[in-house]
């Protein structure tokens, strides 16, 4: 009897141990799961090679894997990264970058004994030369257009010399194109480096089933720490899915299967937001919304070389600018997300922006300008055509309805995006919808659209706007190293453009991000860059 009791007790103890073990493993798995950041990329990812990080989907992914000399914080300030500090010569042409000596590439057997090695200045020399290599055909080669030459002076000193002063140059270097890559690994994989990336970033590549799932794991040897000296990143992994449409993506988010969605799509904007841009009550307990300025200006453009009286007339161009209510448009069509453009072409969030230099809704003034045009030209039924894509049809139709109240006939044509892109570059459209997202966070990037030497198709001046005064100020800004003086020049140039009204600035976009309550420290920035190195996830109570 005693033996049976002992045997029973032994079996019970074994069973309890097994249950505890299973429970322990289950808890570990759940804990690990809470350290995985999950998001969806509905546009897919074309490459994990930073030399091809042109689209936002690719940039978000490569930002987790790679670093450059410098980086941008959420306030658009250029900060050290692999370069711990730098100096700029008095003539603003020569930049000397002093590199950290503790940055290592992600592990790979091809490195040899230690499966890694330290980044040196020669790696940046190789990486930037690769951008210029025509056989590589990187879409990012343009970032070095103003560079005369660069070289590694020694292991920790990298020097870049410009052809002419360019105050925005450090901002350009924050782009993922300028990330450091290891020569031996790139040469090992060739074009397949796109799917076998080795960088220095907070996360390292683990697995990619194209159009299905992409996984990054924590880089245990990452060189950056938080303000308290703790190792970054906090997350164990990043998992990216590829559901093809925003509606499915939002459904997964609402069910708690992904942690984050970005942007406001028509398929769910009314589901999650009230008409004035507030989070609906049913989501408040599970979801956080963060929003801020986005360096994206949405506008209508007039082709100034068009042989059409209405387009040539400053009266008509200004009447369109005065003739619709931007505030009402944002409420009706964007649930209040976005900033009505009462300033110039430079968006809110960049030095040089001035809210006083643009146009506000003045319907009577718009009517008076149309009447002046009719009187001076003898054209009794003035007419304009706006060409757009289907995504922005609602905006153009809203403007059409409002402007026609002034006595100006407005027609709206819808064409495919690729067709519009080609037609606007080649001067085939008299008036068209467009947007400009900053390539780098400096107002010069926006003002380049009005520099006469940038006429499309050889540059971004799609309107063919021309002003000798503007050109002189634009060239002066390159040599102005004082930040405040350059800001004043930018505002003056923007004001000159608005006085001639070659564009109708509709709104400045906003970055809108929705996260689950479990997510902490996911910031927001005007370039909509996704930075996960300081993100934490905690279990929801």
Render each residue's pLDDT in the chain as its tens digit; 541 residues. 444 444 444 444 443 343 334 344 444 445 555 699 999 998 789 999 999 998 889 999 999 999 999 999 888 889 999 999 999 999 889 999 999 999 999 999 999 988 999 999 999 999 999 999 999 999 899 899 999 999 999 999 999 999 988 888 999 999 999 999 999 999 999 999 999 999 999 999 999 999 999 999 999 999 999 999 999 999 999 999 999 888 899 999 999 999 999 988 878 888 999 888 889 999 999 999 999 889 999 999 999 999 999 999 999 999 999 999 999 999 989 888 899 999 999 998 888 999 999 999 999 999 999 999 999 999 999 999 999 998 899 999 999 999 999 999 999 999 998 899 899 999 999 999 999 988 788 899 999 999 999 999 888 999 999 999 999 999 999 888 788 899 999 999 999 999 999 999 999 999 899 999 999 999 898 889 999 999 999 876 5
Task: Tell me phi and psi for residue 493, to 5 degrees.
Answer: -65, -45
Cα 106-109-115 angle, rounded to 5 deg:
55
**If DSSP codes are grouped into helix, strand and coil, which group holds residue 409?**
strand
Tokens (6 digits) for 506:
């509709």
CB neighbours of 129 closer than 8 A, spacing ≥ 6? none
Contact 271, 265 (CB under 8 A): no
Is the backbone peptide bond immediately before 457 cis, with ω within 30 degrees of 0?
yes
Kindly write down the DSSP assignment for every residue of 121-149, as one continuous string. Answer: HHHHHHHHHHHH-TTTT-TTGGGGTTEEE
pLDDT for the residue numbered 193: 97
Task: Tell me phi and psi for residue 91, to 5 degrees.
Answer: -85, 5
Handedness of CA 113, 115, 120, 126 (dihedral sign): positive
What does the DSSP 8-state code read for residue 82?
A: S
- Strand-by-strand arrangement of the 147-154 sheet: 83-88, 94-99, 157-162, 147-154
CA–CA gap between residue 161 and residue 92 (Å, rounded): 9
**Buried b or exposed e, range 254-267, using 16+ CB within 10 angstroms:** beeebbbbbbbeee
pLDDT for the residue numbered 286: 94
How many Å separate Cα 176 from the centre of its chain? 11
CA 234, 521, 347, 59: dihedral to nearest 10 degrees? Answer: 20
């Amino acid at each position: 009897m005693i033996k049976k009791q002992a045997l029973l007790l032994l079996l019970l103890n074994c069973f309890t141990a097994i249950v505890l073990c299973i429970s322990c493993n289950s808890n570990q798995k759940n804990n690990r799961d809470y350290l995985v950041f999950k998001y969806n990329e509905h546009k897919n990812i074309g490459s994990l090679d930073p030399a091809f990080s042109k689209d936002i989907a690719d940039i978000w992914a490569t930002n987790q894997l790679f670093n450059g000399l410098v980086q941008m914080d959420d306030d658009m300030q250029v900060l050290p990264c692999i370069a711990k500090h730098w100096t700029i010569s008095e003539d603003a042409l020569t930049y000397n970058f002093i590199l950290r000596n503790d940055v290592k590439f992600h592990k790979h057997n091809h490195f040899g004994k230690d499966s890694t090695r330290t980044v040196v200045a020669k790696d940046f020399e190789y990486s930037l030369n690769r951008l210029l290599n025509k056989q590589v055909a990187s879409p990012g080669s343009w970032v070095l257009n103003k560079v005369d030459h660069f070289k590694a002076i020694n292991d920790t000193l990298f020097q870049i010399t410009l052809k002419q002063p360019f105050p925005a140059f450090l901002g350009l270097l924050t782009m993922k194109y300028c990330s450091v890559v290891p020569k031996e690994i790139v040469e090992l994989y060739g074009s397949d480096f796109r799917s076998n990336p080795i960088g220095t970033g907070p996360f390292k590549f683990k697995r990619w089933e194209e159009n299905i799932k992409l996984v990054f794991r924590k880089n245990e040897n990452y060189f950056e720490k938080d303000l308290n000296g703790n190792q970054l990143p906090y997350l164990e992994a990043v998992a990216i899915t590829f559901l093809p449409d925003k509606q499915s993506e939002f459904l997964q988010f609402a069910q708690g299967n992904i942690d984050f969605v970005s942007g406001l799509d028509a398929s769910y904007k009314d589901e999650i937001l009230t008409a004035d841009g507030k989070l609906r009550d049913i989501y408040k307990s599970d979801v956080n919304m963060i929003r801020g300025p986005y360096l994206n200006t949405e506008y209508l453009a007039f082709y100034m070389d068009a042989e059409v009286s209405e387009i040539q007339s400053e009266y008509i161009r200004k009447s369109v600018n005065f003739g619709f209510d931007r505030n009402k448009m944002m409420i009706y069509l964007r649930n209040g997300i976005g900033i009505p453009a009462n300033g110039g072409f430079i968006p809110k969030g960049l030095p040089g922006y001035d809210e006083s230099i643009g146009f506000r809704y003045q319907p009577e003034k718009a009517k008076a300008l149309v009447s002046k045009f009719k009187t001076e030209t003898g054209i009794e039924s003035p007419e304009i055509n706006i060409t757009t894509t289907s995504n922005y049809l609602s905006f153009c139709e809203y403007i059409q309805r409002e402007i026609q109240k002034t006595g100006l006939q407005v027609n709206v044509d819808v064409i495919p995006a690729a067709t519009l892109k080609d037609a606007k570059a080649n001067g085939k459209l008299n008036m068209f919808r467009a947007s400009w997202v900053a390539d780098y966070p400096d107002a010069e990037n926006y003002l380049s659209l009005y520099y006469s030497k940038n006429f499309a198709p050889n540059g971004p001046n799609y309107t063919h706007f021309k002003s000798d005064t503007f050109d002189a100020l634009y060239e002066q800004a390159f040599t102005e190293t004082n930040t405040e003086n350059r800001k004043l020049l930018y505002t003056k140039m923007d004001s000159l453009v608005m006085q001639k009204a070659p564009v109708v600035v509709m709104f400045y976009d906003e970055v809108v991000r929705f996260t689950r309550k479990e997510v902490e420290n996911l910031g927001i920035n005007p370039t909509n860059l996704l930075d996960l190195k300081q993100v934490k996830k905690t279990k929801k109570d």
